[in-house]
């Protein structure tokens, strides 16, 4: 029994979420292979070969795979899926984009965003924005799975010495073309990889006020996030969004500022180790999940916090 992990990378380095997916794959008691599909990405394959527990790395390099276009990658994964009992990818925008296409090509019902493995065919996954947890058993012989990275520890990035095998399986459907990518440049850590996150909500009142969070984020080495309400109000871009329809995070410290704590936001951050809530409404639901709550006007509390931290 063998599992294939479809790696997340940017042709230069392996994204840390891949390591959590490797752990999930190892949790299925499988031989684990990692697919590195991209262009000029052999360094990523070498990085993946060092990941503890990985038995084999498959490397495919082509311009057709450079930007991870769903049509091309899904056909590739489907074509090489024959030997695998499990195919897993992290629940990232890439994983979500590609894996259902693989699943339909293989006539398999995908199991999305698993948060726990109960047995070789039974998994837990959140439904209804995390309000309920469904335990589902797959009857398909092949299992196609996306993995909630916060629910699995990262595999060790070193210690392995997997064999790297180069594949010549090139598929270019020629029906979609990459034009450009605008990745927000930031010195701060990525939301899904940060140890500390400070998020603002509707209580921030406008986008300019998010600068109040920046000083503290700099001091703590934190990423800055936002609630859906703040994104919907146009304060900050969508990639700041923490929640069921945004990013799922579980840092060591999560500071929620001016966030009421709607269900869909809590679904995205309630696995954080320590949660701090700062809100002037003492009845805000966020206080029901916070380890430490401070009922205060954020425009007074945040400058004080910044100066004293």
Closer to another protein at the Cβ: 135 or 166? 135
CB of 213 to another protein, least distance (A): 15
The closest of 54, 79, 87 to 165, measured between CA atoms, is 54
Residue 299's region, left for phi above 0, alpha for psi from -120 to 50, else beta, is alpha
- CB nearer another protein, residue 119 or residue 168: 119
Beta bridge partners of residue 278, listed in sequence order:
257, 294
Number of other CB atoms surrounding residue 295 within 10 Å: 14
In whole angstroms, give the CA distance from residue 101 to residue 108. Answer: 10
Q: How far, in Å, CA of 260 to CA of 262, rounded?
A: 6
Q: How far is the CB of 26 from another protein (least distance, A)?
A: 23
- Beta carbon nearer to another protein, 23 or 92: 92
- 93 or 158, CB closer to another protein? 93
Residue 3, Cβ density class (10 Å: 0-12 exposed, 13-18 middle, ≥19 buried): buried
Instruction: Provide the minimum distance between the beta carbon of 55 and another protein in the complex, in angstroms, as a whole number.
Output: 28
Nearer to another protein, 11 or 92 (CB): 92
Beta strands across the sheet bearing 143-147:
111-114, 143-147, 86-90, 2-6, 31-38, 54-61, 163-166
Q: How far is the CB of 212 from another protein (least distance, A)?
A: 14
Return d(Cα 19, Cα 24) in angstroms, integer. 9
When the beta carbons of 37 and 275 are compared against another protein, the nearer one is 275
Least CB distance to another protein at residue 174 (A): 8
C-beta closer to another protein: residue 211 or 234: 234
Residue given tokens 């994204």 in the structure block: 15
CB of 221 to another protein, least distance (A): 10
User: By the 8 A CB rule, do 160 and 296 touch?
Assistant: no
Q: How far is the CB of 232 from another protein (least distance, A)?
A: 7
């Amino acid at each position: 029994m063998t599992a294939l992990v479809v790696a997340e990378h940017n042709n230069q380095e392996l994204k840390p979420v891949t390591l959590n997916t490797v752990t999930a794959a190892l949790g299925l008691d499988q031989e684990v292979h990692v697919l590195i599909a991209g262009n000029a990405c052999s360094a990523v394959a070498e990085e993946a070969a060092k990941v503890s527990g990985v038995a084999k790395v498959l490397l495919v390099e082509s311009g057709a795979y450079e930007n991870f276009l769903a049509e091309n990658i899904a056909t590739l994964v489907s074509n090489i899926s024959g030997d695998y009992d499990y195919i897993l990818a992290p629940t990232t925008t890439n994983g979500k984009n590609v894996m259902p296409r693989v699943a339909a090509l293989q006539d398999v019902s995908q199991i999305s965003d698993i948060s726990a493995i109960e047995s070789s065919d039974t998994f837990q996954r959140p439904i209804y924005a995390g309000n309920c947890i469904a335990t589902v058993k797959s009857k398909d012989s092949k299992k196609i799975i996306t993995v909630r990275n916060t629910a699995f520890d990262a595999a060790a990035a070193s210690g392995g010495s997997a064999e790297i095998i180069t594949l010549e399986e090139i598929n270019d459907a020629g029906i979609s073309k990459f034009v450009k990518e605008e990745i927000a440049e930031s010195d701060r850590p990525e939301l899904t990889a940060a140890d500390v996150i400070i998020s603002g909500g509707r209580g921030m009142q406008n986008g300019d006020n998010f600068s109040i969070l920046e000083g503290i984020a700099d001091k703590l080495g934190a990423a800055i996030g936002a609630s859906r309400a703040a994104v919907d109000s146009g304060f900050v871009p969508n990639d700041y969004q923490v929640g069921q329809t945004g990013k799922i995070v579980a840092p060591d410290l999560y500071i929620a500022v001016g966030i009421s704590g709607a269900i869909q936001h809590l679904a995205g951050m309630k696995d954080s180790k320590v949660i701090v809530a700062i809100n002037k409404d003492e009845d805000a639901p966020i206080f029901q999940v916070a380890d430490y709550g401070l009922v205060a006007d954020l425009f007074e509390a945040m400058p004080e916090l910044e100066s004293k931290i």
